Structure 1
Amino acid sequence: MRTVSLNVGFMPLVDAAPLVIARELGFAEEEGLDLSLQGAPSWSTLRDRLALGQIEAAHMLSPVPIAMALGLGGMATRFDALCVLSINGNVIGVSREMAQDLKANGARLDFLDATTTGQALSSLNKDIRIGVPFPFSMHAELLYYWLDSIGLPSPQGLDVRTIPPPLMSQAIAAGEIDAFCVGEPWGSIAVENGHGELILPGQSIWQFAPEKVLAVRHDWAEAEQDLTGRLMRAVWKAGRWLGDPTKLSTIAEVLSWPEYLGVSAEIIERALSGQMVISQRGETRRVPRMIGFFEGAASFPWKSQAAWIGNRMATRFGLDRVQAAKAASDVFRSDLYRKHLASTGAEMPGASQKVEGAISVPTPVASKAGTLILQPDRFFNGAIFDSSQTS
């Protein structure tokens, strides 16, 4: 097999692990690929590099390809999401000053209870300046869904500011924002630096949120079907390796290298293990499934997940919800997943969509490889989303 070089962009986040591990542990090499991993300073830069053909693939926010398919954000290039790279992995935090305001106000915070914590924020009765890494991101979608559900009119009730993940702690320290939603390890860095406290993990809003995807240009996937398959298999093998809990220390060490995240392996391991330090006082909380790469067919690009994102965007931007859900679903390429991963033994759900929010306990379902155990995917408010009923 001829070795082919591929340029792949990423942001310095724990959830870039499938690409890093695919390169560093030889899974890409097994598929005849030499991955050149190129860090980006911001999500807009990463998106533009992919759109302009400067890189072949990218670690990408799951809503970005959907926003582009809906004509949002000023980029018309079609991206395809070949697979999901990671589930969950975000944290919501507040400045030390806001944490003190919450305590002075008698607010009750429960790190794993989105309703209680959301009500505590609402009780402040003040505008909140909140940082997110990009307007079209799961961070933004989770925040809007959460705060709207507990009665804070969003986005009207929020002053949302775009801040690259590595700069979130600095923005809190400078007083530019009061709160943030960001991927790890950057929430933990804000805690470590004494600039903020964590109040909620993203998985407490939606237990199985597709956080990042492996994105490519649609025309590239069509023209380079062999390379598409090789890349997908390398990343899937890396995800399977990442799913082994005995590998956490090794994963954290590799991700800590300067060319990737450049932060302490101990801080990185917090997200991988779910043992989160939420304040500089050393308070810890155990977060089940803080971040996932493999369990429960985590990498499968469910069309219903894409439809949920499309439906939320359509509601916010005044688009036709049925058309938006359909356009969003087309972006998540479960057909390519089934085609290119069939030889790996990957768990293949019998269908490409499900009712989102309906699974409260690990649930066995039929799959092409036997029995697949789907993990809980509940929304914090008990809502369900059936993409077949979108109207």
Structure 2
Amino acid sequence: MTATLRIGFIPLVDAAALIVAVDKGFAATEGLEVELVREVSWSNVRDKLNIGLFDAAHLLAPVAIASSLGLGHVKVPIAAPFNLGINGNAITVSPALHAALMEEIEGDRFDPMATAKALAKVVAVRRKLGAEPLTFGMTFPFSTHNYQLRFWMAAAGVDPDEDVRLVVLPPPYMVDSLKNGHVDAFCVGAPWNSIAVDLGIGHILHFVSDILVRAAEKVLAVRQTWADKNPDVVAALVRAAVKAAEFIEHPENRAEAAEILAQPERIGVDAEVIQRTLTGRLKISPDGTFRESSRYLLVGREGAGRPDPVQAAWLYAQMVRWGQTALTPDGVKTAMAVFRPDLYDAALGNSTPAEAPAAFGAFAGPAFDPTDIRGHLEAFGVGRWKA
């Protein structure tokens, strides 16, 4: 028996496991006939998933949590049985802002505390001169990009709501916005940071793995009611995604995976750019400087595919920190319940669940404890949180 599904995605490399699952036939082997629908904005993906136009979606992890909490839109409980990507974002800045930061920096330019302190100095100079605040693009209010930018800036005392402007832009529009001077910087997933560098209009300042060693980025999301009615289909979808992730993570398959992802109806950029992302070796400046990181994007290795509720708790804590919701025991419980390692384990027949992966490794603040979110929030000076 074949199940027919419509699944929405945004043209980003962290949709790789989903795209490869369909285009390499892993989904078909599991009895799934999948139509992948390319979308431009996260609000489109969320809305079509919530009202049932999509059966599943490539979705920002915080959007899945926000939907389950009823934040920013209607309340639709979401289940995430597979994690499509750990890390994968980067912060890209204009040549002018890069030069200003490098002029002010003290220490290692790849140290996020050093760059955050340099940003604080640039912000202060601009304020003194009466210049417009710097504008940073991010993909959605409920996004890792938003929280990662804020976490980085605030560590050096830059208030992201008072000292700079944060604006929402769909991922494919980031590059043109930087080129046209509408933003001074952005945080987005691959391949759009690399595209800006290749065009000579941006420098990759940080991989997000500089800021958080391990951060859940996108999830395979389904409505909870749909998951309850279609457990076998959910399990088949998870297995297909796991097989695809394993395929992508084999070095000998990355060229083929990049070609699949490069197709116009998928991500639609040069395969070589995508392959850089999959190997973790990225050109970070127009002068040809490269930087390599084994942690730039984890698709399947190091247990990346198995949802970790602690990651959901950290994202919920950021929502509270920046005034998007209040801290409540039910809120924490609801957020953590979105990430479903039980469904992942059931799909793969894991009778002995894997141990929880390593902690976040944030560059600032204490180690995160999901049982003490209040303590986490109290450790930071900048925020919109009210006790």
Give the TM-score normalised by the residue count of structure 2. Answer: 0.90
The structural deviation recorded for 1:376 is 6.6
**Could you tell me which of 102, 120, 123 is aligned with 1:122?**
120
**Could you tell me which of 327, 330, 334 is aligned with 2:337?**
330
What is residue 348 of structure 1 aligned with on the other side? Answer: 353
After the TM superposition, which of the residue ranges 282-291 and 177-186 deviates more from structure 2? 282-291
Point out the structure with the larger helix share: 2
Whether the 8 Å contact between 1:110 and 1:116 is mirrored in structure 2 is: yes
What is residue 64 of structure 1 aligned with on the other side? Answer: 63
The structural deviation recorded for 1:75 is 2.4
Change (3 A) 1:230 1:179: same
The structural deviation recorded for 1:94 is 0.8
Mapped partners of 2:364, 2:18: distance in 1: 34
What is residue 368 of structure 2 aligned with on the other side? Answer: 385
The structural deviation recorded for 1:111 is 5.2
Whether the 8 Å contact between 2:69 and 2:77 is mirrored in structure 1 is: no
Whether the 8 Å contact between 2:160 and 2:166 is mirrored in structure 1 is: no
Whether the 8 Å contact between 1:168 and 1:186 is mirrored in structure 2 is: yes
The structural deviation recorded for 1:188 is 0.7
CA deviation profile, 1:106-148 (whole Å, cap 9, x unmatched): 4357453211121222220243210011111111111111211
* Equivalent residue pairs, number: 365
CA RMSD of aligned residues (A): 1.8
CA deviation profile, 1:46-79 (whole Å, cap 9, x unmatched): 1111111111000000100111223211221221
What is residue 184 of structure 1 aligned with on the other side? Answer: 190
For residues 52-131 of structure 1, the aligned pairs below 5 Å read 52-103=51-102, 105-108=103-106, 110=108, 112-125=110-123, 126=126, 127-131=133-137
After the TM superposition, which of the residue ranges 273-282 and 10-19 deviates more from structure 2? 273-282
After the TM superposition, which of the residue ranges 68-77 and 13-22 deviates more from structure 2? 68-77
For residues 176-255 of structure 1, the aligned pairs below 5 Å read 176-255=182-261
SS at match of 1:41: coil
**Could you tell me which of 238, 254, 264 is aligned with 2:270?**
264
Mapped partners of 1:174, 1:107: distance in 2: 26
CA deviation profile, 1:274-297 (whole Å, cap 9, x unmatched): 111111111111122110111121
Higher relative contact order (CA 8 A, sep 6+): 2
Mapped partners of 2:108, 2:174: distance in 1: 23
Whether the 8 Å contact between 1:300 and 1:334 is mirrored in structure 2 is: yes
Mapped partners of 1:116, 1:158: distance in 2: 18
**Could you tell me which of 152, 161, 165 is aligned with 2:158?**
152
What is residue 304 of structure 2 aligned with on the other side? Answer: 298
What is residue 380 of structure 2 aligned with on the other side? Answer: none
**Gapped runs of 5+ residues in structure 1?**
355-373
Mapped partners of 1:385, 1:108: distance in 2: 28
Mapped partners of 2:53, 2:180: distance in 1: 34
CA deviation profile, 1:79-110 (whole Å, cap 9, x unmatched): 1111111111111011122123234x343574
Mapped partners of 2:330, 2:318: distance in 1: 12
What is residue 142 of structure 1 aligned with on the other side? Answer: 148
Mapped partners of 1:321, 1:144: distance in 2: 22
Identity of aligned residues (%): 38
Mapped partners of 1:315, 1:381: distance in 2: 15
SS at match of 2:301: coil
After the TM superposition, which of the residue ranges 108-117 and 214-223 deviates more from structure 2? 108-117
What is residue 339 of structure 1 aligned with on the other side? Answer: 346
Q: Does 2:170 align with 1:164? A: yes
Whether the 8 Å contact between 1:110 and 1:199 is mirrored in structure 2 is: no
Change (3 A) 1:8 1:85: same
SS at match of 1:296: helix
The structural deviation recorded for 1:232 is 1.1
The structural deviation recorded for 1:348 is 3.0
SS at match of 1:388: coil
After the TM superposition, which of the residue ranges 322-331 and 29-38 deviates more from structure 2? 322-331
Whether the 8 Å contact between 1:315 and 1:321 is mirrored in structure 2 is: no
SS at match of 1:130: strand
After the TM superposition, which of the residue ranges 326-335 and 51-60 deviates more from structure 2? 326-335
Mapped partners of 2:329, 2:108: distance in 1: 36
Change (3 A) 1:221 1:183: same
Mapped partners of 2:317, 2:104: distance in 1: 36
Amino acid at match of 2:82: C
Mapped partners of 2:322, 2:149: distance in 1: 13
**Could you tell me which of 250, 257, 282 is aligned with 1:276?**
282
Amino acid at match of 1:86: G
Whether the 8 Å contact between 2:5 and 2:55 is mirrored in structure 1 is: yes
**Could you tell me which of 291, 308, 312 is aligned with 1:285?**
291
Q: Does 2:29 align with 1:30? A: yes
CA deviation profile, 1:238-270 (whole Å, cap 9, x unmatched): 112222122221111111111111111111111
Whether the 8 Å contact between 2:70 and 2:76 is mirrored in structure 1 is: no
Mapped partners of 1:280, 1:212: distance in 2: 28
Mapped partners of 2:107, 2:274: distance in 1: 25
After the TM superposition, which of the residue ranges 188-197 and 153-162 deviates more from structure 2? 153-162
Mapped partners of 1:156, 1:322: distance in 2: 30
Q: Does 2:32 align with 1:49? A: no
Whether the 8 Å contact between 2:87 and 2:215 is mirrored in structure 1 is: yes
Q: Does 2:21 align with 1:14? A: no
